[in-house]
Structures are given as C-alpha cells and as structure tokens.
Structure 1
Amino acid sequence: MKILTLRLKNLNALKGEWKVDFTGAPFTDNGLFAITGATGAGKTTLLDAICLALYHQTPRLGQLSASSNEIMTRGTGDCLAEVEFSVKGTAYRAFWSMRRARGNADGNLQPAEVELAEVESGKVLATQIRPKAEEIERITGLNFARFTKSMMLSQGDFAAFLNAQENERAELLEELTGTEIYGEISRRVHEKYKEAEQELALLRGNRNNISVLSEEERASLVLALAQADNTLKEAREACEHWQSGLNWQAGFAQRLSQKQQAEAALAKAKDDLTAFAPEAEKLRLGELAEQIKPEYEQLRAAESEVQTLQQRNELLKEQQQQSAQHAESSLKEKDQCTAALEIAEQEGSARIALIHNRVIPLDNNIARLTQEKRELESTLEQQKAITGKLAADIAGYEQAVVSMHEQLTAHKNYLDVHQADSVLLTKLSGWRGQINQLGGLTASVATSEEQAVKAREQVDGQTHQVAQAEKARNEAINLYNDKQSDLTKQQQTVDSLAAEQSGQQIEQELLAIEQCWAPLNRAMSLQQQYLKLCGKQSEHKAEQARLQSDYDEAVKQRDLMREEFVALRQSLKDVTLLLKQEEQLAEFRMQLNDGEACPLCGSLSHPASGEVALDVFATLTRKHELEAQLKEAESRGIAQNELCERLRLGLEQTTQAMEKAIQDSADIAAQWETISQEAGISVALNDETGLTQYEQQQKNRGAALREQRSRANLEKEKLAALTTELNELQRQVSHCENQVALAAERLAQYQKQACDTQSALKSAQQQCAALHNSIVKETADAGHPLPSSGFAAWLDRLEEKAQQWADTKEQVTALEQQASQQAVYRENAQQNWQAAKAQAAKLSTAFNALCDTLTQHQTERHALAGITPSQTAITEAEQRIAQAKQVAQQAQERATAAKERHTGITSSLNAAVEALVAARQKTEELSERWQMQRKRAGFDSDIDFQNALLTPGLRDQLSREKQTLEAATQRHSALFESACKQYNSWLNDEQAALWQQADGDELQSKYQQANEERDRILTRRGELAARCQADDEQREKLHNLSEGIAEKEQAFEITSALHGLIGSATGDKFRKFAQGLTLDNLIVLANRQLQRLHGRYRLQRKQADGLAILVVDTWQGDIARDTRTLSGGESFLVSLSLALALSDLVSHKTSIDSLFLDEGFGTLDAQTLDIALDALDNLNASGKMIGVISHIEAMKERIPVQIRVNKRSGLGISELDKSFRFSPEAPLAG
C-alpha cells in the first residue's frame, strides 16, 4: 500500500484547501522527506487527514461524528480530507467531508459524506461509513489499529511495545496481529469438551435407568398373551351366539307387529273408498257435462253476436241522419267564406299602397333628424361638462392657494418658536456617544459593586467553611472510633454462627435436596398422567357401552328398512306386470268392432270396451307412487347403513383407546417403580396427597437451610460492609484534614481579592462622576438640560425634535413653490372657462331649431299610420288576406269531408243488415245441434246440465281424492301381502325352533354375562400386551442408547485429545502459544532492522513460555539485560526497529510502501541521530516512501525534501507552501 496524494481543507490550524502530490517532484526524486514546523503549527494534522480520509478517525481524537468534531478549523463551515492510494497496482480514492448547516460557521454539524472509488475507472465502491471501512480493510488488509502501527507511528505510541508489561504486550500483540482468534478457539474447545463430557455422562446415566424383563419373564409373558387370545376368541363366539338369539326374537316381534299394522291399514283404505262413492258419481256427471260444454258455449256466443249486430244497425241508422245534416251546413259555410275573401283582398291592397307612398318617406326623415338631434345633444352636454369642470378647477386652485398660505404661516411660526432645536442637528450625535460611555461606566461601577459584595460574601462564607471543615474533621474521628467498636462485635457474631453449622455442610445438604427435584418432578408428572389415564378408562368404558347400544339399535332399524325396501320392490314389479297386461288388453280392445266376433271368446257384443281407461290411469298412478316410495326407502336405507358404519368405527376406536389407556397405565406403573427408588419416595402411585406432602417437606427443609445460609451470609456481608465503612471513614478523616488546610488557603485568597475589588470600584466611580458633570454642563448651555434618569427616552425625544425642525424647514420651502404654481394654474383655467361658455350657447340655439322640425314630421306620420311601424303595417295587411284565404280553403275541405262521411255510413249500414240475417240463421242451426247433444248426454234441461258442471278446482280435487284412495288401497294390499310373506318366512327359519320357545330375559342375562366375560379377558389381554410393548420399547431404547454412547465415546476421545493440547477455560493455553510464535517472528524481524540501525544490540525472549524481552549487548560479551537499562537514544533505536518490524508483521497481506514517523527524535544525540537517519536512508533505498515529522534542526539539514508548516503570527492558523495550495481548475504539482 502506497500513499499517492493527500488533499485537505480546514483541519485544525491548517485553514484553506491544500493538496500534496507524492507522485511528482520532489518526492519522486527522494522518497525520504520531512514535515517541519514550529510546535503546534499543525504538522501532525497532515497525518490526521490521511487517517480521516481512510478510517474517519484520528489517533488523537478518535471517531468523528455530527455530534463531535473538534478537528474542523474554528470559524469555517466545512472541512474535508481525501487520499489517493495504490494497492497491488490499482489506485483508489478515499474521501471524507463534513459541513455545517447552510455553510455557516455557527450552523449545526451535518452527517459526514464519504466515498471510496477507483481512480482510473471512476467506479464507486462505497458511499456509507461502515461499508467504506469494511471495503478499505478488505482491499488493504489493515484496520485502523493496524494502520497506525504499520504505516503511521503516532505521537506517544512509538515506544509503547518496548516499555509495555508482559500482559500489556500480550494484548498489544493480540490487537495488532489478530491472534485473538486463538484464545477464542481455546475457549471453544474447552466448552465443547465440557459439553461432550456432560452429554456422555447423561447418556450413561439414562442407560443405567433402563430396566428390561429377563428371558424367563419375557417367555412367560408371551405365553400368557397367547392364552388370553384363545380365551378371548371363545368369549366372542359365546357373545355372538346369544346375540343371534336376541336378534331372532326381536325380528319375530317386529314382523308380527308389521303384519298387524298392514292388515288394519288395508281395512281402513277399503272403508275410505266405499265412503267416497257419492262423490265419485258427482265426478262422473261433471265429466260428461264437461264433454258437451263446448257446444253450449258456441250457442251462447252466437246468440250474443245476434244481439250485438242488432244494436250496431240501430246506431248506423242514427249516424246516417246526422251526417246528411252536417254535409248540408258545411256547403253553406263554404259559400260565405268565399265572399269574405274577395272583400279582404281589396282592402289590403289599398292599405299597402298608402304605406309605400307616404308613410315610409316620413319615417326616413324622422330617423335622420332623430340621429342629428342625439349627436347635437351629446356635443352640447360635453361642452357643458367642460364648462363645469373648468369652474370647479378655478375654485379648487383658489382654495389650495389659501390653504398653502395658512400652512406657511403656521410652519414659520413653529421655526421662530423652536429656534433652539436647530443646534440639535450638530450636537445630538456627540451627546449620544457620551451618554453611552456614561452608561458603560455606570454598568462597570455596578459590576464592581457586585464583585465587592460578592468578595465580602466569599470571605464570610469561606470563614464559615473553615469552621465547618474543622467540625467535620472532629465528627469523622468520632465516627471512626465508634465504627471500630461495631466491627469487633460483628466479628464475634460471625464466629458464633460458624460454630453452629459450617457453610459447607449447608451447601451439601441443599445440593442433595436440589438433586432430588428432577426425579420428584418426573414422579409427579407420571402420577398426573396415571390419574388422567384412569379417568379416561372409565370414560372409554361408558362410551363403549353407549356406542354398543346405539349400534345394536341402528342395526335393527337397518334390517327393518331392508325388509320394507324388498316389499316395495316386489310390489313395484307386480304393478309393472299388471300395467303391462292392461296395456296389451287395451290394445286388443281397440281392435274390437261392434258386430265382429272377439278372437278370444267369440262374442259379438263388447260391453266393457269403453270402461278400462280409468283402471289404466289408476294403475299408472300407483306405479309412480311405488317408484317414489322405493327411492325414498333406498335413500333412508343408505343413510341408516352409513350410521351403522360410523357407530361401528366409533366403537372400534373407543375400544382401541381404552386398550391404549390400559397399556399406558402399565408403562407408567413400571416407570414409577424406577423413579421412586431414584428419588427415595415411598408413596403409592395413586396417592396424590402423599406425594404432595413429600414435596412440601422437601421445600420446607430447603427453605430452612437457605434461610440459615442467608442469615450467615448476611452477617458476613455486614462484617464486610463495616470493614468497608471503617476504611471509608479513615479516608474521610484524611480528606477532612486536607479540607481544613485548603479552606484556610482559600480564605487568604478571597481576602486579597476583596481588597483589589474595592480599589477598582473607587476608580470607576471617579471616572463616572467626571463624565456626568461634563454632559450636564454642555446640554444646559444648549438649552436642553440632562434629566436625572431616562437618558435613552430623552435622547429619542431630542432626536424627534431635531427631525421635526428639519422637516418643517423643508416644508416651508416646498409650500412657497407650490403656492406660485397654483396661482398660474388658476389664471389659465379662467380663460378656458370663458371660451367654453360661448361655444355652449351656439350649440343650444342649433339644438332648439332641430327639435321643432322633428316634431312637425312626427305629427304628420301619426295622422297617417299611428305609431305602427311601416313594415309591421304591411305585414298585418298581408296576414289578413292570407287568413281569409285559409278560412275559405278550410271551409271547402270540411264540406268535402262531410259528403264523403255520409256516403261511408250508408255503405256500412247496408253491410250490417246483411250480417244480422246470416247470424240469425247460424244461431238457429246451433240451437238444434245443442238439443240433440244434451239429450244424448242424459240431461233433460239446460238447468240439469248447468247443475252438473263442476269448477276446475273441485273437479281436480275429486279426481285426485279418487286416485289417492284407489292407490292407497292397492299399496296397503301389497304391504299386507309382503308382511304376511315376511312373517311366514321368519317362522320357517332354521333357528325358529331353537329361539321361539326361549325366554327373552334369560337370553339377555346370558348375553350380558358373556359380554362381561369378554371385557374382562380383553382387559387382561390389554395389560399383558402393554407389558410386552413396554418391554419392547425399553429394549429398543437400551439398544439405541448403547449405540449412541459408543458413537459419543469415540468422538469424545478426539475432543479430549484436542482439549489436552489447546483447550482451557480462559483461552490462555492456545493464545499464549500463538502469541509466543508471533513474538519470536517479531524479534527476528526487529533484529534485522536493528542490525541496520546499530549492530551493537539484538533482542531475545526472556523465557520460553513468557512474553518478556531482553536486549543482548554484543559489545559486552552477549550480556542480556533488561530493556529498561537502555539510554534514551538506545531506547529510540530499539523502539524504531520494533516499530518497523511490527509494520512488516502487520502488513502480511499488503506490502507497505509508505511509512510516516511522528516525533521521537528529540532524545537522540548527534551521533545516534546520524545512525537513525542513515537507517531511514537505507529504508528509502529499498523503495519505501518515508515521511518524518520533527522540529530538530539537524534533521532539517539532513533531509532536503521538506513540507514546511508555517504559523501566521497572532492569527492561530498555519499555512503550507504556496505550491501546495489547491486549485480546482488545475491542481498544481508538489
């Protein structure tokens, strides 16, 4: 890493913007240069700028931020630092700047702006503080600490490593070389070792806690489980046997009940059908009447049409008479309108000729004269307005002249009365300065008086403090003696408590109690689980009984539904077959003809051929009902089957849950035995109260022990506190002694200050009195005496008077000029007013003559046509002629329309007469046909026919009731047949003889006994299975734990070996080893540098395992001695060699091509300085650029290339040479 350029602005004393280019002359000619200047000039500021640009901090000020920036030059609004550097041939630019708000020197600091970019490509790598610092460290391999120990050796850090203690040197090595990772590795290895050791011990303990059955116990358990399975099978077969008997008896009772119910339902359906016979006859007559109802409605429609045609003929006859009269009157009206049209045309033509010949010329003249009148009238009004305005201007000018003369008189009187105010214009500024000076002297007197009072108060207060300090000293001595006595008593109390029971015994007993809590907690958890499982077993058993009962009932209902479904399906088949037969018979009947022999019986008469339609309809209705009932029965059967399946699954799940609860209870009982022995508990598993009491006993004993321990610790703490208080009191006694001496010294100082303050007060009072007398005399001579107080208001009033006198003087001059101008304006206005008045008289005469001529023309025109406009009069005459023509035309049209209407009505009347004759003939024909149809249907009169008619709702209702009754009779008949078949089939079952005579209660009792026996065997089998499963799980756990322990032991051997090599709780083992290697490497590098500087000395480690350093004097027979025995110059050379070695060591990632040394040469004599400079020349020859900061004259002479920092006298700022001043347009070469 090499520094290429440095740019800075407003940093510490270096005000302004500067740039140093290390890539140009003279730095390229000689890489060794010096930064020189007086102490405090700002030499180190150049190095601070490099640190700021790279790391945003300096060795002296640390991190800079918006809340802390002490490096910005006072009185400036911004500062910056920029460094260009190269690493491995790539150039980078690092930038940092900070400014104040709005660029003001007193503005608030704003956040810093930073940037890191590549110089050649301009690519920006970072623009934020943290990413930029990380990127700098990645590119250079140096953080701030390493940078200041490798490239830049700051003030005060030069000999830090050489003179450090062993522990400090270890920390410094760790900080510089990054070897802290070795301590972290050592701690991590130790922690991993402890974790592995604890984990392995825990696994071994768990393995010892696992117990399994012996092979004999295991074989006996398996045999018992097999026997339980056989016994359970026999018990289940017995349950099924007695269950079948109960099921047969229940089925027999159900079928007997169904048969009786079906028989009663069939009898009721037949009775209902017989009772409906009168309504059936009424329905038959209604249907016959409905068949001939269309002929009756046609007859009534024809009769209504005849009546309508008669009424229409009468109406047409009346309309024919009215139309004849209207046609005659319309003809007369047409003749009258024609005569009126001729008269209107004659009058209109005469009126139009008069308007054109006389009225229109008069209108033109009147319009012309009216326009001339308006123009002349406007001109006259304007002339009058001009005359009036001129008269008003004359009056205004006269009034203004009078007003100005009055103001002039008043202002002149004011100037005469206040002639004394004229001197204020020259005297007032001097008086204001003297009064301000007087105010300052007065304030100084007041301040001196306050200081004198304060000095006297300080003397009094300090006298009191001296007395208080002596009092506090005596009180502290008394308290110290009292506290010494309390300490002796407390020591006796602590010794007596230790004699009762030692702290070690209490801790051992508490440890024993703490170790029993884990198994006790597990025991309590197991007990709670066991009690919950017992409760679950009871719940599962009750749930099992309920589900079994629901399942049996559901199965019974499902069987009944199946039987009903089979019966409905058989009935549907029967009805379908019957319907098919009836369809075939109907087809055969349709082929029969009267007089022809029947193919089946040979009969020539077929009386039943027309009476079968209703039977087919009823059969179809019955079929549809059976299909719907069958579908409904199927749906209910499916739902019931699903219910049975859900209940069966629930029963199985409940049984499994109960078996699992039994197994879990057995597992918990086995674990309880182990934990009881481990915790020393002699309580039954189901004894919840006993376990709780045992827990409380342990808690009480632990609380008592902790209270005893706390009491002992409290007494010890009191003893320690008393010891601390005694030491504090000792320090207070010493402090009080010092305070007494300090207070006496301050009292003498305050007394001297009081005398000095009194002398200053007397001098200020004399100066103030002399100035006040001078001001009073001068103002009195000018006629404005000085008041006793309120000087500022008095000066303001005098300033107002002076300003008012000057303003009045200026107003007098201005008013005199304005009065002369107003007199001239008044004369001009009078001349213009006389001319305007004469012109207005001429215009008035011409206007009156024009008005007379206009009046004559208007009178003549009014006599001819009134006030109506000419064009309007012509339009009105033309409109009257047009209206007369329109009226005549409308009369002609009305006459024609009336004649045509009369002809049309006559034609309509003839057609209506013909239609009436035809309608009467049709009515007679329909009446004859209706009489024949009515008699054929069996109705003697129209009244009988009308009584037989039914409303559509009633007819449909009776039809549905009839169909419903017939279908119900058929359905119940089929159900009765099905019930009889099922009853007979159940009696013919092969088990009927076995169960028909058996007693139901006895069967139920035997079934319950068998069921209980099955449950008992099932419970026993569950316990055996649970024990077998628990043993399997324990064996599997034991196997898994053994494998895990083997793996852990193998891994632990490696961890233990690693821990023996480098592991330690504090991390010292591996860290010291790494630090020793680093120190060895550093000493080798330092000896190389020291050989160049001075061949007399070399360095070596004091001990093989320590970090101490010895210096070996080769001129004294390789005697090794402590580094503290070196002289100042020798110490500098050794420190320089170590610093250069540290630079090489830290820069292991990056080559360090620039090196800056800040001070450290002041302790060298001339010869040693030459040696150091020769060494620096050698480093320069190796390609390094080296900058040295020093104010030593010898170095200035030896190093020709210099950057001089010059202090400007009395300004507190410094400057570089003008060649380094930065210009943004064209940067100058260094």
Structure 2
Amino acid sequence: MRPLTLKLNNFGPFLNETIDFDHVKDDQLFLISVKTGSGKTMIFDAIVYALFGEASTKDRKESDLRSHFADSKSPMVVEFEFKLRDDVYKIVRQGAFIKEGNKNKTLGQLTVYQFDNDDYDLKESKINTGNQFIKSQLGVNAEQFRQLFILPQGEFKRFLLSKSSEKQEILRTLFNSQRFEDIQRNLMDDVKEVREKIEKRFSILENNWQDIDAFNDEVLTEFKLINARQTNRVVEVLPKFIEKAKNIQEQLKRRKHQQQDEVKKSETILDDNINLEHALSKLKEQQEKYDALVLKENDIQSKLKLLNEIYEVRPLANLLDTQETLKIKKTKITQDISNKDQLIRGLVSKIQKDEDMLMIHKKSSQTLEKTREFKERCKLFYDNANKYKKAYQEYDALKISYNELNENFVLQQQQFDTMNAQLNYRNPDYEIIEILNSEIFELKNKVKDLKHNELKKLEYQSLQNRKKQKVEDLKAVEQHLKNLENEYRSIDKTNIDLNNKKDIITKIQSALQSGDTCPVCGNEIHKIEQHLDFDELTERSQNLSEIERCINEASGNKIKCESELKYVNEQLAEFSQDDLTDTNYEAYDVLIETKKQQKKKATIENEEISRLKEQLQQNEQKLHALELESKTVFQNMKAYEVMINDFENTTKHKNVDEFIKAYELDVVKIQQFDDKLEKLGQGIQQAQNELSIEENSKKYLEASCTEIKEELENMSVKINTEMGRIGFEHFDQVKETIAKLNEKNKLEDDIETYNKEKQSFELLIAQLTAETNDRELKDSEKLKEDYERQQQCLETITTELSQHEFKIEFNQKKINEIKTTIEQLEFELKEQQEVFQLAEILSGKNERKLTLENYVLIYYLERILAQANQRLALMTGERYQLTRREQISQGYSGLEIDVFDSHSNQARHITSLSGGETFQASLALALGLSEIVQQEAGGIALDSMFVDEGFGTLDQETLETALDTLLSLKSSGRMVGIISHVSELKQRIPLILEVETEQYQSTTQFKKQ
C-alpha cells in the first residue's frame, strides 16, 4: 500500500488540507517536520481512519478526531487515494456527528472507488461491506496495520515491552493463530464426544445384555450375572444362548408337525361327510327340475318347424331390400345431375362477365406508368427520408460552426506564436539543479566535518587539561608514597613479631622457676622477670599496620592515575592536528547560502520554462484539434450538400415532407390499381376451377346413374328366380312370410335355451349319482367337534413356537447388537488412543507445558527476533541481541523478551536499556515483525512505513546507524516517512513535509533541501 493523496476536512487541526504524496517520487525517505502540538500524528490518524474508521492509537476515539473549530453543520471527511500493487483506490469516509439544531446524530458514510478506464468506479457504498472490502484488499486489519505500516507514538515500543499475554494478542491478530486454539478446542470437544460415545456404547451393551432371554434355564440365568463390561467373557458365552434356543425350537417344531397331521386327518373326514350330504340333496333337486323341463318338448318342435320356413325366405327378403335401395339412389342421382347443369350455366356466365371487366381495367393502366416510374426512381429517397431531413437541418448549423472554428484557429495560432516567442527555444536545465544539490550536500558535509572538528578540538583541550591534572595527581601520589615508605622504614621492628605472644609468654613464665631449663632455648633459667614492653610493641605494630594500609591505598591510586593517564594519552594520540586546526566553517555557510539562492533561481526558471512548454504543448494540441474539427465539419458540409442536390434533382422537390406526401399518394394509387387487377384475375381463375370441378362431377353422376339402371334390371331377374325356387306365385305371399322374420331371434333363443338346460341337467345328475353310490352318511356334528379339538391343540403349539421364535429373533438381534457394539468399542478404543494422547499434549500437558497456539506463537516470535537481530547488531555495533526468555509455566508464557549484552556476556531485562537503546531495539523489532508478516502473508503489499518520534533519544552515532537502517528500506523501494524534531535529520533527509500551525489550524507543504 502506497499513499497518493490525502484530503482532510475538519479533521483535527486540518480544516481543509490536501497532502500530495506524489512529491515523494524517487526520494523514498522523507521527514515530517513539525512543532509539538501542530497535528503531525493526526496525519497518521487520518490514514488509519480512512481505511478502518479508527485512530492510529487505541486511546483515541472517533469523536476525538473531529476539529473543535469545524463548522457545526459541516462533517468531518477524509479522502484517501492509494496504490495497492497495480490498482489505485480512493476511499471517502465521513464521520458521524450531531449537526447544529439536531438532536439525533448524523450517521457516518463510506464510499470505496477503484480506478478503471480513466475514471473511478464505485465498489462499495455501505460502511460494513466497505470495511470488509478494504480489509480483503489490504490483507490486514487495523491492529495489523498499526504494527506493519504505521508506528505511532506510544505504540512504537509497546510490543517490545509488553507481557506475554499482550504479545499473544498482537501475534494472534497478525498470524491468525486463533485457528490453532480452535483446533485444540475442537480436538478436546471431539475427545469429549468420543468418550461420551464410548460410554453410551457401554450403556447400550449393558441394556442389550440384560434384555437377552435365558429361556428359564439355570445355566443361562447364571451367565447373565456376568458384568457386560467384561466383553471377552460375554462374547465367550453368547453361543450357549443360541444353542439352547435352537434345541427348544426343534422340539416345538416336531410337536407342531405331529399335530398338523392329526388336524388334517380330522378335516378330511369332516369335509368328505359334508360333501356327501350336499351331493344327495342336490341330486334330488336336479332330478325334479329335469322332469319339469321334459314336459316342454312338443312346443319346442313347433317352433323349430317355423324357424326352418323363415330361413328359406330370408335371401328373397334381402334381394327386395337391395332393389328398394337402388331405386332411391337412382332418384337422388337424377336430381343431382339437374342441379349440376344449373350451376355450370351460372359459372360460365360469371367467367364471361369477369373477363370483360379485366380487359377494361388493363386498358386504363397506361395512365399510371409515369406514376409507377416516379415511385421506382424515388424509392431510395423515401426510405432514407429522415437522413435527408437531417441534411437540410444540419447544413446551416455546420456552416456557422465552420466559420467559428476558423476564427478560433486564428486566435489560437496567435497565442501559440506569442508563447513560442516567450520560450525562445529554452529548455529546463535540471543538470544544474543536480550539480548545485551535490555541491550543497558536499558543503554541508564539509560544514558538518568542521563542526565535528570543533567539537574534537574542545574534546582535545578537555583531554589536555585532564592529562595535566592526572600528571599532577600522579606526582602527588608518588611523593606521598615515598613519604610513607620512609616513615615505615623509620619504625623499629625489633621483637615486633612477639606482640601477639604476650599470653603464651605469661603462661610459660607462670609454669617455670629459677634453675629450670627454658623450653625455648634449652638454657638454665637464672631469674624470672619482665623482659618486653608489650604496650610499646602494640603501638609500634599498629603504626606499621596503618602505614602499610596507606601504602597499599597510595599504590592503588598510583596505578589508577597511571592507567587513566595512559588512557588519556591513547585518546590524545587518536586526534589529528590538521583536524584540530581546521574548524572555520562560517565561510562555507555563506557559500551554502549562495548555492541555495542559485538553486532557487534555477528552479524558478526551470519551472517557468516547464510551464511555458506545457502551455505551448496544450496550445499546439488545441490547434491540431481545431484543425481536425474544422476539416471534419467541412467534409460533413460537403457531404450534406451533395445529398441535398441529389435529392432535389431526382425528386424535383425542395421540401422532404412535401415529397413524402406526394410519394405516399402515388403509392396508394398504384396499390389500389394492382389490388383490383389481382382480384379480377383471381376471381376468373377461381370460377374456371369451380367450372372444371362441376363438369367432372356431372360426368361421374351420369356414369353412376347408368350403372344403377343396369343393377335394377339384374335385381328383378334374381327376385323372380328366387320366388320360383321357393314356390311363391305373387308378392303377397312373400310379404306375409317376411313379416315373421322379426320372430326369428326369439325362436332361436328359446330352442337353444331348452337344449342347453336339458343337457346340463343330464350331466349333473349323472355326476351326482356317481359321487353318492356306495357311500355311508355319518353324523357331521360329532365329526366337527373332533376337528375343532384337534385344531385347538395345534393353535396352542403354534403359539408356543411363535413366541419362542420371537424370543430367538429378539435374542439374535440383541446378540448381533452386542457383537457390533463390542467390535465398535474395541476399534474406537484402539483408534482413539493416539487422539486422546494428542489432545492432552496440545492442551499443555507436556514437558514444556505449552499449548499448540503458544508453541506456534513462540515459533513466530523467534523468527521475528532473528530477523530483528540482524539490524539491531548493526545499530549497536554487535553489542545487543534480543532473546526470548525461556521458562516453563502454564498459559501464554515464553513470549517475554530480554536483551543479551555481549559486553557483560549475560542477558538482562529489556527495561534496563536506555531510551536510545530502547528505540533501536523497538525499531529493529518492528522492522523484523513487518518482514516476517510479509513473508507469511504473500498478499500483503508493504510498500510504505511511517515512524513517529523516538529519534530524540539517540546520540549522533546511534542516530546515523538508525538512519542507515531506514535508508536500507528506501533502497528496497519502500516509502519511509519519519516524524521528528531532531535537527540533524533535516540535514540527512532532502525531502521534508513541513506542518505549520496558524492559531487553531495547521497546513502542510513539501519542501526539498
């Protein structure tokens, strides 16, 4: 993310301010130079607010960002344009506020645009969706943005000095380590669920084990006392239950088969006796019906004779019906032929009349030939009438526009000549600016060196004075040491070693008498008396001890003076006498000012030339555009003029509307003539077609009539022949016999019914007689009672067997469930054992007492420290290294940071660093954090970084090292902005964003050194 422009309205001290970051360009490192309280941090607040709706530090709320001097009716608005990879975005965010006169708060607004096709396209217009869109594009949230892009006051070293729990929150946000805690929690939930599932399976196993039926068997009942959790034992005894159930089932099945045989035997005897009763009763009934039917035999014979007569007369009746049908058909055809003759005469008359009218209409067509020719010639103009209307309308307007363009061209040409004369073939001389910048930079370095020489001269003089003092101190110490040695030598040291033997001597003297042998020297003791003055020995001993102490102290002071004098001499030897004499920098300051004036003059001249060149180029472009437009207008005029002449010459009209009216009138006339001509032709054709159809129809009817006459003649011959064959002499006999044809069906039905009933009775009587011969009838009631008794026994046995089979099925189901449950338990216990162990390890039950998330955070922190130490070593001359404090405890431990001091070869607390050292460590850590996050999240584009304060705590050498570090970021293409009051930074950083305050508001301006 690289800022392009930042517009602030009523934001902090900025009432209406625009910061254009395009001034940065190649000078990737720039300084934000401000006075305290002028609002430099609000620049950072504006960037963070535009992106996330928050300030750059957590302790400021949105309401704190609005200017106290803003118009009460005007909102606080921040417009931020930035480049992200190859895309450019613009964000406009308006803060919520209470407008004057209103009680309710005016809600905030957010619009997000993306630059595409030379314009900004709206992407989001709602705050929630807009915030999500911005986060998705940047790849970071507000907290990550603060740590990676902006290092504001108060938060610069917060990460360095924070506790483990605080670092955990920051690192969790940056590296999304929350997912590892979610993994741990999900795993624990899974383990808990698995354990509950296993316990539930044991419960199911116990219930199924208790539900198994023991079939009132003592052995099986004793087996059921086994604990269901003894799965191996349960599996071992399950076959016993299956075996016992099968034995009982076989016994019941044998009893059932035996009883089924008895029931079947009783049922057969009963059914045979009942069937015999029914057969005897039915035989008697059928014999009575057969006797009644035989009495109708004479009547049936009379009906049969009548039916034969009817069969003889039927062919003759059919011939008479056919003859009558042909007569009716002949009459109808004769009438149709008469109708056709009348219709044909009418059609011939109509055709003749229409042909006469067609001839007359064709003769009148000669008068429309000119009209038809005009229509064909002008059809193209009629179809494009709007085009020719437009030509008439725009021709005059184009003529006026053409004259105006020529006038503008002349004026623009005059302005071009004037500016060309002002430019006078000059070009911007940027090389002189670069030369002057180089000379100013070299002169500033020279002044810096001379000032540094002046400081060295003062330091040299201070060392000379210190050397003189140390020489005097050394001489005094040596004289004092000499005096002490003389005094030490002057003290009598005789018997001084006996000073502490007083008690021993007194004890020996008390034990000896005169004449005894001395235990020390071995001579005879002549007299016991006091030989030594122990008080005087004590005084001399004390004086010697005091002088020895003073000699040791004086010797130490001498060594210290000699060491310090040697150190001072070594430092003096490092100074160059040439540098100490070369300290005059005032002349260079004057020269620098002269060069700056020259640079300013050259810059103004270059800007003027660039302005003139740009205006000249714009003027030239306008001239070219006017010339092209004039040519285009002229060409359009000519095109319209050709169109108008063509229209008028062809149509002989000068008005398009009048031409359209005349053309349409002619088209109507031609169409009416053509329609009538077509209608007459179609009418004649249709009549001719109908005439042809009717003539063909008449011929067909005449042929049909001839055929029918021939058929009637043949039919008369056949009827006479058939009457002769039957014996009829006249038609009355035929009609009388035909009248009885309606009784034919009834006679046939009566005869057929009689024959079928007679045959059926004879067959059934014969069958029943065969069934009942030689058979004895028994008492059916007794046989039925015996059958029911046998059936009741069978039902009892069947019920017992069904109940037992249900128990077998139930037991088998439970046994299968028990086996399945045991197999599942064994598999799950074996499968989940490693999961249980893993869950305990990830929850912190391990040697280091670390959860999974804390382990991951330590991994990231160590990578950050390794990256940070590369820069910290350079900034501190290989003295300091950041290390992670290792300790074993529960929770988020192991994230504290200590500093290892190579001078003392041991680690110490991070708060023991000085202010400048803390700044160095914080800067190195922030840069290391930024680089690791970028490595981990490839979607984050870290093209800029801003640093607020911290440089004032650094000495000259450390400041140079910190700047070198930031310059290394510049060389990698990053934009680096620094806010600081340190004057040395203005000399090192050529581009400065100055923030000036005027009473209650502030303004900004980019300046180059």
Where on the TM-score scale, by shorter chain, does this alignment land: which range? 0.3 to 0.5
TM-score by length of 2: 0.47
More helix by share: 1
TM-score by length of 1: 0.39
Larger radius of gyration: 1
